[in-house]
């Protein structure tokens, strides 16, 4: 996709034509208008990226971050490749020879696009390093699998990266990433509870189910000594998983996940 306009008047790289173009007011005026358009386009793309980061979708999971930064990387790479083209280099070269006043603004935006491209490359690399742990929050995951597999792996990888560089913690990016992890954990817990409350029935039966189980009395609740087993791999979390997971047990498992998730976040700080 061609994001930057091409010049209508093309000048060859022949030294005489090149120098003559730099003293041609018509060509210089066109090229200054063209570069002004490039600046506006690049400014708009950089501003869109910042605005997208400020607007947090409460339903967005962490994999949307990887998709967003990959998309941004493709856009910035596209612009960078276009700026490396012969036509673009000729335009800037002629304005340099003509000593255009627009060059100061162009140098600033050129530095900004370079910084943004480098930042985007680092973000994609960072997110790719934790992608397999983020994917474990999806694909029919439950609070138990998250607690035993995804959460320890994710926090371990983040700590390891944090020991190398504190950039993401200092810049506030980890807060944004874990906000989206939290969104996904909410979806996981909701699906986990909904599977027991209303697997086939329409409507919201949550409180009816809670009422029924409360009325059944505490004798129905499982204890670690009987009617329950420790989930394989749940040793570290100390999570007791009933063989028959009723609603109250599922709610307790979600609360256990919440507690361990909160402790994990504290350990990263």
Query: If you write DSSP's letter for every residue of 129-157 in order, what string do you get?
Result: HTHHHHHTTSSS--HHHIIIIIHHHHHHH
The structure tokens 């980890």 sit at 174
Between 7 and 110, residue with greater pLDDT: 110
Alpha-carbon gap, residue 241 to 243, rounded angstroms: 6
pLDDT digits (tens, 9 = 90+) for 188-245: 998 888 887 765 556 666 666 666 766 665 544 443 333 444 544 444 444 545 445 6
Instruction: Give the pair of three-digit tokens for residue 88.
Output: 């673009």
Between 18 and 28, residue with greater pLDDT: 28
Structure pTM?
0.76
Lowest mean pLDDT among 51-65, 96-110, 114-128, 179-193: 51-65
pLDDT at 218: 52
pLDDT at 39: 95
Lowest mean pLDDT among 1-5, 98-102, 147-151, 233-237: 233-237
Instruction: Give the pair of three-digit tokens for residue 246.
Output: 């009723």
CA distances from 220 to 3, 126, 230 (A): 65, 47, 18
pLDDT digits (tens, 9 = 90+) for 93-115: 889 888 989 999 999 999 999 99
DSSP state of 115: H
Query: Chain-wide mean pLDDT for the chain?
Result: 81
Non-local (6+) Cβ contacts of 22 within 8 A are: 28, 94, 97, 98
Instruction: Give the pair of three-digit tokens for residue 112.
Output: 């900004």
pLDDT at 249: 85
pLDDT band for 167, please (50, 70, 90 cuts): low
pLDDT band for 248, please (50, 70, 90 cuts): confident
Helix extents (H) in 5-138: 15-22, 25-54, 63-83, 86-97, 103-129, 131-135
Alpha-carbon gap, residue 135 to 123, rounded angstroms: 17
pLDDT at 266: 87
Alpha-carbon gap, residue 181 to 192, rounded angstroms: 16
pLDDT band for 19, please (50, 70, 90 cuts): confident
pLDDT over 70 (residue 132): yes
Instruction: Give the pair of three-digit tokens for residue 66.
Output: 């990887």
pLDDT at 199: 58
The structure tokens 């498992």 sit at 253
Q: How many CA atoms lie less than 13 Å away from 159 in the CB half-sphere?
A: 12
Instruction: Give the pair of three-digit tokens for residue 218.
Output: 């505490």
pLDDT over 80 (residue 168): no
Lowest mean pLDDT among 29-33, 156-160, 245-249: 245-249
- Cα 141-147-153 angle, rounded to 5 deg: 95
């Amino acid at each position: 996709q061609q994001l930057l306009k091409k010049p209508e008047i093309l000048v060859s790289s022949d030294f005489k034509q090149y120098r003559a173009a730099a003293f041609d007011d018509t060509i210089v005026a066109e090229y200054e208008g063209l570069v002004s358009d490039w600046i506006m386009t690049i400014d708009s793309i950089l501003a869109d990226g910042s605005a997208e980061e400020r607007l947090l979708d409460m339903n967005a999971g962490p994999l949307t971050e990887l998709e967003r930064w990959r998309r941004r990387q493709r856009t910035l790479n596209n612009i960078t490749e276009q700026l490396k083209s012969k036509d673009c280099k000729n335009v800037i070269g002629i304005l340099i020879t003509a000593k255009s006043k627009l060059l100061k603004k162009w140098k600033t935006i050129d530095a900004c696009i370079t910084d943004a491209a480098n930042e985007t490359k680092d973000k994609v690399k960072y997110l790719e390093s934790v992608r397999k742990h983020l994917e474990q929050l999806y694909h029919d995951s439950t609070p138990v699998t998250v607690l035993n597999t995804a959460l320890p792996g994710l926090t371990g990888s983040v700590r390891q990266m944090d020991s190398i560089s504190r950039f993401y913690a200092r810049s506030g990016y980890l807060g944004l990433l874990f906000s989206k992890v939290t969104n996904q954990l909410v979806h996981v817990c909701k699906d986990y509870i909904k599977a027991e409350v209303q697997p086939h029935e329409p409507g919201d039966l949550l409180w009816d189910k809670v009422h029924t189980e409360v009325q059944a009395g505490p004798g129905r609740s499982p204890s670690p000594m009987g009617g329950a087993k420790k989930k394989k791999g749940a040793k570290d979390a100390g999570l007791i998983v009933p063989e028959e997971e009723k609603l109250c047990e599922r709610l307790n498992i979600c609360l256990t996940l919440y507690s361990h998730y909160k402790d994990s976040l504290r350990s990263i700080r």
